[in-house]
């Protein structure tokens, strides 16, 4: 339904012209399938880091290209960065997925909902959070937060997931609780 290009795995990601060229090839390959472009930073589980100015430039150039349908911006890149990416993307008709990833724990339900609300407040079209469960109760916390956010803000599409084997059930049944999309890797997991 949607293809996500994890640009942090692209070895030439520091060279924006190479990224745009590859994006054009992906657009041609996937034609009408929505294409989400994501640079996942090292601090949020990605493959590498970019300087903040390079991160913003990359996402804005992707939006300007006309070949991406959605871009992902990390909530913890800061409100100014998120607003800049949102403004540029929206000017070009590109939707924005705000995201937050916690690879060490599952925050309390209130914190999960708060992060999703902040993404919406900053203008993101879709709010996404992925957390790491330490026990089955953490998976229930994520699902409860998902249902709470959907009930409180039904106008905001959300994507939520609990990671790892323990969180698998959240990726299979998240739609029941209000998650709009789930994740699967084609080949090696990112």
Task: Give the full edge-to-edge strand order of the sheet including 70-74.
Answer: 3-6, 35-38, 70-74, 95-102, 126-131, 158-162
Tell me how far apart the alpha carbons of residues 75 and 102 are, in angstroms, rounded to a whole number.
Answer: 12
Q: How far is CA 48 from CA 6, 12, 112, 172, 175, in A?
A: 11, 12, 25, 29, 31
Tell me how far apart the alpha carbons of residues 11 and 108 are, in angstroms, rounded to a whole number.
Answer: 36
Among 90, 101, 152, 153, the one annotated catalytic? 101
**Among this protein's residues, is 15 annotated catalytic?**
no
Tell me how far apart the alpha carbons of residues 180 and 3 are, in angstroms, rounded to a whole number.
Answer: 15
- What residues have CB less than 8 Å from 148, skipping those under 6 apart? 109, 113
Among 43, 90, 92, 128, the one annotated catalytic? 128
Sign of CA dihedral 173, 132, 182, 142: positive
Catalytic residues: 101, 128
């Amino acid at each position: 339904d949607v293809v996500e290009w994890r640009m942090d795995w692209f070895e030439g990601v520091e060279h924006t012209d190479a990224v745009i060229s590859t994006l054009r090839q992906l657009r041609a390959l996937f034609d009408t399938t929505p294409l989400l472009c994501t640079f996942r930073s090292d601090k949020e589980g990605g493959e590498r880091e970019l300087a903040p100015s390079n991160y913003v430039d990359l996402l804005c150039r992707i939006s300007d290209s006309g070949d991406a349908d959605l871009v992902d911006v990390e909530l913890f890149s800061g409100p100014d960065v998120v607003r800049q990416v949102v403004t540029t993307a929206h000017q070009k008709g590109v939707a924005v997925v705000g995201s937050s990833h916690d690879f060490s724990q599952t925050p309390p339900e209130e914190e999960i909902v708060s992060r999703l609300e902040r993404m919406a407040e900053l203008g993101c079209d879709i709010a996404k959070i992925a957390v790491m469960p330490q026990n089955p109760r953490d998976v229930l916390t994520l699902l409860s937060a998902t249902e709470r956010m959907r009930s409180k803000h039904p106008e905001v599409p959300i994507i939520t997931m609990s990671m790892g084997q323990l969180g698998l059930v959240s990726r299979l049944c998240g739609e029941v609780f209000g998650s709009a999309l789930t994740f699967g890797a084609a080949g090696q997991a990112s």
